[in-house]
Structure 1
Amino acid sequence: MTARNRTPIVLSIVAAVLLVAVVIALTALFTRGPRAAESAPATSAPAAPAAPSSPASTPDAAPTPAGGAQIVLAADGFSVVDAAGATTFTHGWGDDAQPAVAALTDLFGAAPTEGFQSGDAHYYAYALYEWGGFTLADVSLGDGNKPRDEVPDPTWVAYTANTVADVEIVPEFGLSVGMSADAVASAVPDQESADRAQFGSDRQSFYQDGSRGLSVVVNLEGGAVTRIAYRYVATDL
């Protein structure tokens, strides 16, 4: 076969090879699955805002006394006066004791310690309500006693500190716990002995005239006042 006759054969073979290559390429193109999407770079989700912290619950606090308050003592009873000078409670010596116990509990910020004082030939028995250095006494009557409205001092008070739980105790006659015996004498008591002095004895009264007035009794020890009480004194010192 001549070279001229071989040329078409070679060209046919080349064309056939190219055709096969094209078919293979097209087949691969259409049968190939879609390209997997590239993974997006991981991003951290924005942090959720912190929930506002709620205040920790605390147990109910016990009542606390208001600084600057006073108990002002007088012949016919006592008054509770707040820091602004307003009277918030009054108690007469013949009044029922329980409202006073409640008011003093609020004032001092604590319940009282309860005690009992036995009676004798001169004095009735009393239930005692004590807050530190301050005591409120309430008469305890039994069979054979006079009715309450005929008791000279159904209630009375005594104290051994000028300030109790931030509450100032204010008596009459310029008296105070710790005051010297000489200063007590200078205040001119109605009666005086080595260990006691009494002021306001002329105002003592009870059921005969419908009102109660108590005197002020001062206990002295070591040359100074150790206790002041508002009560009825039936005998000489």
Structure 2
Amino acid sequence: MSWADLGLPDAPEPSGNETPAPRPRKEPKPPKEPKPPREPKEPKPPKTPKPPKPPRESGGQGDGEGGSRTPLILGIVAGVLLVAVVVTLGFALTRGSSTASPADTPSSDASTAAPTAQPSPSPSASSDAVGVPVALKFGGTGFTLVDKNAKTVFSYEWRDKAADAVTELTAAFGAAPTQRVEPGDGSSYPDYTVYQWEGFLLYDMVDGTGGAQRATFTQPSYATFSRNEVGPISMTAEHGLKIGSPVTAVRAAGPSQDVPRGNVGSIRFIFDQSRSSVGPPVQYSMIADTDGSTVTAVLYYFAAGG
């Protein structure tokens, strides 16, 4: 299709020497006029505060809120505050001056301060308690285990049965005794069970032997020692005599009788012979055996003929 077919003139043929016409320059746009400044808006008038709602009157059971709770809450708060004040006041009063800090306490010179009265010690319940035995004391009616304050730990009389004494002496001496039977004469003198520790012997009659009865026999038991200490226990006789005391001291103690013994030079000294009796209670004399120069043994025995 050509321009002629369209009813249009033929387009001119461009020549090679023709220069295209320059494009027309666009006119610059005129500057926009500045917008006038906005006028400030008028401030809105302050809102008028709404009047407070009147307190709701307390209603009956059908009221949803159950009436105003404000008085109840205020009452509870006031009660709690009152309790807190009372507790605080009571605590402050009971503490007294103990809450004062060291800085608030006036210092005083220890040399000029008045001495503080010390409370007198109250008697202790243990002051009457009996301690462990330290000595075995002999007398006319028997022997006694005593503690360091001379309080009686255990006491034995000659007519007592020996079982308890053996138990107590075993504990005190720290060792059990050996045991044997010493036969009597078969007619009037009974057999004796002998409880023997190293340095101490306790003789206890076998009731009914030799026709003797413990309840009436003159010598139901007796004792002898040949050491001043048996284990941790000191042996304490009367008249201040000990094993090893010289014969001169024995004579000076005033014996009732002295009897020569089978060994050459040995002498038996009998003290308090007149107190030997069947009692009650049974009483014995004290006997000091010597080798002629010193005491070798002490016996508590029934010494007839005083």
* Coarse TM-score class (shorter-chain normalised): 0.5 to 0.7
Q: Distance in 2 between matches of 1:144 and 1:117?
A: 12
2:276 corresponds to 1:204: yes
What TM-score do you get using the length of structure 2 for normalisation?
A: 0.52
Which portions of structure 1, spanning 4 or more consecutive aligned residues, are displaced by more than 6 angstroms? none
2:253 corresponds, among 178, 184, 187, to 187
Q: Distance in 2 between matches of 1:153 and 1:81?
A: 24
* Gapped regions of structure 2 (runs ≥ 5): 1-130, 261-266
Q: Distance in 2 between matches of 1:119 and 1:210?
A: 24
Q: Distance in 1 between matches of 2:256 and 2:188?
A: 20
Contact 1:191 1:197 in 2 (8 A): yes
Q: What does 1:214-225 align with in structure 2 at a 5 Å threshold?
A: 214-225=284-295
2:156 corresponds to 1:91: yes
- SS of match in other structure, 1:229: strand
Contact 2:132 2:153 in 1 (8 A): no
Q: Distance in 2 between matches of 1:184 and 1:222?
A: 11
2:171 corresponds, among 106, 122, 127, to 106
Q: Distance in 1 between matches of 2:189 and 2:287?
A: 15
Q: Distance in 1 between matches of 2:272 and 2:138?
A: 13
1:127 corresponds, among 193, 199, 223, to 193
User: Which one has the largest radius of gyration?
Assistant: 2
- The CA deviation at 1:172 is 0.7
| 2:234 matched residue in structure 1 | 168
2:139 corresponds to 1:74: yes
- The CA deviation at 1:227 is 0.6
| 2:181 matched residue in structure 1 | 116
Of 83-92 and 113-122, more deviation after overlay is shown by 113-122
Contact 1:122 1:234 in 2 (8 A): no
- The CA deviation at 1:116 is 2.3
Counterpart AA for 1:221: D
- SS of match in other structure, 1:149: coil
2:207 corresponds, among 131, 135, 141, to 141
- SS of match in other structure, 1:136: strand
- SS of match in other structure, 1:78: strand
Q: Distance in 2 between matches of 1:144 and 1:77?
A: 24
Counterpart AA for 2:157: G
- SS of match in other structure, 1:182: helix
**CA-atom RMSD in angstroms:** 2.1
| 2:84 matched residue in structure 1 | none
- The CA deviation at 1:135 is 0.9
Contact 2:289 2:297 in 1 (8 A): yes
Q: 1:167 to 1:143 in 2, by over 3 A?
A: closer
Q: Distance in 2 between matches of 1:101 and 1:71?
A: 13
**Greater relative contact order (Cα < 8 A, sep 6+):** 1
Structure in which a larger fraction of residues adopt strand: 1
Contact 2:188 2:212 in 1 (8 A): no
| 2:223 matched residue in structure 1 | 157
Q: Distance in 1 between matches of 2:298 and 2:181?
A: 19
Contact 2:273 2:304 in 1 (8 A): no
Contact 1:152 1:212 in 2 (8 A): yes
Q: Provide Cα deviations, 1:8-40, integer angstroms capped at 9, x if missing partner.
A: xxxxxxxxxxxxxxxxxxxxxxxxxxxxxxxxx
Q: Distance in 2 between matches of 1:85 and 1:191?
A: 31
Counterpart AA for 1:113: T
Q: 1:100 to 1:67 in 2, by over 3 A?
A: closer
